[in-house]
Structure 1
Amino acid sequence: MALDPPFCLSKEKIEMSAFELNNEDVLLMYTSESFTKDRTSRAGDMLEDVKDFFYSCNLPHKGWIDGGVECEVLQTSGGGWQKGKVKLSIRIEFVPDEPEVLQQSASIVPGEPMPQLDTE
C-alpha cells in the first residue's frame, strides 16, 4: 500500500547532481574518448586540450574562447543596451552513474493517525 502525502516518512528522492571538476581532479577514460589521448588526465590538462582542439579547427572566431568578442546586449529584464564582451566558457562537469539518494523528512499532520508502513 503506497502512502499519499502528507505521509512521506521515508520517501526517497533521487537526484543526479553534476559538479564541476577542479584543475587537479584526475579523469580515467578510454584513450579514444580523451582529448589528451591519455588514459588518465588532470581536468586542467583536458580543458587545455579542448581549447587547442577548437584552435586547430581554424575557427574564424577564436576571440570567443580567449578574452571575448566585443558586443552589446539588450536583456529582457530591462536596463537598455549594455556594452561589453561575450565569450565561450568551457568547463568540465562530472555526472555520477549512481544518483544521490536523499531522505525527505517526515511529514506528520497533527490530529491525523500515524500511517501504517508496509513490511513487504
Structure 2
Amino acid sequence: MNNFEPLDDDEVLFISVGRVLMTNPTFKVGEFIDSLAQAISDREDDWVEENEGWFGEGLACEALRFGNRGWQRGRVRIRLEFCPDESAPPKLLDSRSRVNRERRRDNSTPNLEDTYRPEKLESRFDPIYGNPEDDFE
C-alpha cells in the first residue's frame, strides 16, 4: 500500500492543483528542491552553508527509529517520493516507446504493423511560389 519511491532530481512532475513554490505546473524535482531550500534560507536569519546538507548529501544526525533499540547515527535529507496509482497505467509519449518497451520485455522483434509510420504530408506551399519539386532550368 505504501509503495513510494524516491524521485531523481531530473525527473519531471505535473501538478495542477495544490502545488507550492512553483508557478509552472510542470517542473523538475531538482527545481522544486532548490525552491524549497531557497524559501527556507530566506526565512532563516542564521542560515549557513552547512544547512544545505538538508537538500544534498544529508546532515549528520541521530535517529530514534521504530524497531531499533536506541539511537542510530546516520544522515538525513529532504527528498520527494512518488507512488504510482495501481489503477492507472502510465501514459506513453508515443507508440515507439511502447514498442521499444515491449521489445525489451520479451526480447522479440516487434510486429511492423504496430510501429508508428507518419504519413506523407501534402504540400502546403503558396501557389505563388510554385511547387518546390518543379524543375527550374
TM-score (norm 2): 0.42
More strand, by proportion: 1
Q: TM-score, normalised by structure 1?
A: 0.47
